[in-house]
Amino acid sequence: MKRNILVYPSLLLLVITVSIIIISCGGSTQQPTSVELLGSIENAFVSVAKRSIPAIVSVRNERWVEGKYSRQEGSGFIFTKDGYILTNEHVIRGAATIKVRLLDKSVLESELVGSDPNTDIAVLKIDAPEELPVLPLANSETVQVGQFAIAIGNPFQLNHTVTIGTVSGKGRSLLPDRGIVRYQDFIQTDAWINVGNSGGPLLNIHGEVIGINSLIRRQDNTPATSAVRAGAGFAISSNLVEKIGTQLIANGRIIRGYLGIGMEEVPQGIRILRVLRNMPAHLSGLQRGDIITGYNGKKVADSAEFKMWIADSQVGKESKITVLRNGHERMFNVTITQVATCKSMGYPL
């Protein structure tokens, strides 16, 4: 009996050992080689480029400057089958005529539907005899730092240049207010972009637009205008692009909410530095020194985010602002007005 008792565990151990060897050997033969892995990655990039390029256009800004003909070129992409195109506002700024060149090299006159210098977004419209290829917009909230980023555009008139990198950062805010509100939500990338890429798409590995390439920045913050590698590239997030683009198509302009305060971030929230007379903040009873801690039930901590909330608020609708005043919490009902109906006078919100 003792012998039998000892044999069964030995047999069991042998069976387990042989099974592990078989599984290991079988698994190793199924592992792709390094070249195969690289080939799969390469094929993914090639596939994105092939699918995306037909929807990417060259945008030509033609105008007269001091009696001389001037032409500036940038990029853009088609985002509706009936011919609406997204690009940067600075690409078409001051244009007398705007022309769009498609992949088949045909050049079409385009109509400026609307533009927004505060976000650097513009919408163009072209008439085409048939449905056009489009690029879908991704949800930029789901974009993660470290994921692949693919930029396609026309740097230095080198049409449909494809460069690859990663998402280097999110939620960047780079430009000063300078007397007007700037609504910023930049995705930073190390994918190579340069002059002429402006207005072109920054894509994810699925061929979805995560942002519009908008600006580049050198180490010394000087304008990157010569044919050299810039330090970092920045793309306007696709969620902001979709929000602004949809409004421009619907209204031809952007309708933004306005509060009428100057402010600064503090550990508790946002402190009011100035209150513009007869504007919503003043009319609701908000005062200099109040610390805003809540807006419509949401915690207030970031000034850039708070600006976006105010801008997106429905004009004429009452909003609830929670503040700390002399150490006590108070709530105010504020009716947001339209920013276009008032002079900002340097007040940033």
In a domain, 43, yes or no: no
Select which of 198, 237, 313, 319 is catalytic. 198
Range of the domain at 109: 52-125
Please confirm, yes or no, whether 24 is among the known catalytic residues: no
CATH of the domain at 288: 2.30.42.10
Assess whether 95 and 167 both reside in one domain.
no
Inside any domain, residue 204: yes
Question: Mean pLDDT score of the chain, rounded to an integer?
Answer: 83
Q: Are residues 145 and 238 in the same domain?
A: yes
144 and 247 in one domain?
Answer: yes
The span from the CA of 205 to the CA of 146, in Å, is 12
pLDDT in tens, 21-77: 444 454 555 777 888 888 888 899 999 999 999 999 999 999 888 888 888 899 999
pTM here is 0.73
Looking at the structure, do residues 114 and 152 belong to the same domain, yes or no? no
Q: Which of residues 37 and 208 earns the better pLDDT score?
A: 208
235/212 same-domain check: yes
Residues 284 and 334 both lie in one domain: yes
* 201 pLDDT higher than 90: yes
Of 52, 116, 120, 214, the active-site residue reads 120
- Check the CA dihedral 166-170-174-179 and report its sign: positive
Dist CA 77 CA 133 (whole Å)? 9
Both 106 and 64 in a single domain? yes
Which residues, listed in sequence order, are joined to residue 35 by a DSSP beta bridge?
Answer: none
Per the domain annotation, does 8 fall within a domain?
Answer: no
Tens digits of per-residue pLDDT, 283-331? 999 999 999 999 999 999 888 788 888 888 888 889 999 999 998 999 9
Domain end call among 251, 283, 298? 251
- Residue of 52, 75, 90, 214 marked active site: 90
Is position 11 within any domain?
A: no
Total domains present in the chain: 3
- The CA R_g of the chain, rounded to the nearest whole Å, is 27
Please report, for the domain that includes residue 112, its CATH number: 2.40.10.10
In the prediction, which pLDDT does 220 show? 55
| Domain final residue pick, 232, 251, 270 | 251
Q: What is the 3-state secondary structure (H, E, C) of 50-96?
A: HHHHHHEEEEEEEEEECCEEEEEEEEEEECCCCCEEEECHHHHCCCC
Are 186 and 152 found together in one domain?
A: yes
Cβ neighbours of residue 205 closer than 8 Å, sequence gap 6 or more: 44, 45, 48, 147, 148, 150
Q: Are residues 261 and 220 in the same domain?
A: no
Among residues 226, 251, 276, the one where a domain terminates is: 251
Q: Are residues 58 and 107 in the same domain?
A: yes
Output DSSP code: residue 104: T
Is 120 annotated as catalytic?
yes
Q: Among candidates 109, 98, 55, 94, which has minimal Cα distance to 74?
A: 98
177 located within any domain: yes
Residue 58 domain flag: yes
Report the pLDDT value the prediction gives residue 1, as an integer from 0 to 100: 42
Q: How many CB atoms lie within 10 A of CB 183?
A: 22
Residues 154 and 223 in one domain: yes
* Residue 266 lies inside a defined structural domain of this protein: yes
Residue 160 and residue 112 share a domain: no
**Range of lowest pLDDT (55-64, 156-165, 329-338):** 156-165
Establish whether 90 is a catalytic residue.
yes
Give the C-alpha distances (Å, rounded to integers) separating 130 from 109, 137, 162, 335: 16, 22, 27, 46
Is 22 part of any domain? no
